[in-house]
Amino acid sequence: MSDYLPPKIDWVRQHVEAYEGSGGTKATTLRDTGLPCIIVTHKGGKTGATRKIPLMRVKVGDAYVLVGSMGGQPKNPVWVYNLRAHPEVDIRDATVVKPMVVREISDPEERTSLWEACVEAFPPYAEYKAKTERVIPVFLAEPKI
């Protein structure tokens, strides 16, 4: 991936810097929740630059579920469009970094099953879904073969 463009939101940028800067030994939980998170390294859809975003750690088998909730806001986070354009990512889960490929989940049964795993891992997802009219994008990141 090409040049790195850090997140524009201060707390997100600081979180990524702490997580990545420690090699995955610090900042492995999301702020004050105490719940584990991962860092998704992906390619910008427009710029082609390397982007990094912390997301809640929702693991299903060898895969990770990535939720574009943006706290239930009316629009998708930018990274959703990046993943749609460039599905190859690296996921850092603490000290382990794995190359993965994402696919957006559209099958209703698979989506329901994965959404339940997401809410179990991070209960606020249910509130986010209730407060927005948009369909929250759900991706599955699977090991790159």
Phi and psi at 99, nearest 5°, equal -75, 135
CATH of the domain at 95: 2.30.110.10
Residue 4: inside a domain: no
Residues in the chain: 145
Residue 38: inside a domain: yes
Residue 62 vs residues 2, 31, 37, 72, 91: alpha-carbon distances, Å: 27, 25, 16, 27, 12
Residue 1, pLDDT score: 47
Q: Where are the alpha helices (DSSP H) in 61-137?
A: 78-85, 108-121, 124-130
In the chain, the number of structural domains is 1
Q: Which of 109, 114, 103 is nearest to 139 (CA)?
A: 103
Q: Is the dihedral of CA 48, 89, 126, 113 positive or negative?
A: positive
Residue 70: inside a domain: yes
Residue 80, pLDDT score: 98
The DSSP bridge pattern shows strands 50-56 and 88-93 to be unpaired
- Tell me the CB-side half-sphere exposure of residue 103, using CA atoms within 13 A: 10
Range of the domain at 19: 10-143
Ranges of the chain whose pLDDT falls below 50: 1
Q: Which residues contact 109 (CB under 8 A, 6 or more apart)?
A: none
Residue 2, pLDDT score: 60
Give the CA dihedral 96, 87, 51, 49, nearest 10 degrees: 130
Residue 5: inside a domain: no
Residue 30 vs residues 41, 45, 55, 104: alpha-carbon distances, Å: 17, 25, 8, 23
Q: Which of 139, 144, 145, 127 is nearest to 60 (CA)?
A: 139
- pTM over the 0.85 mark: yes
Residue 3: inside a domain: no
Residue 2: inside a domain: no
Residue 145, pLDDT score: 82
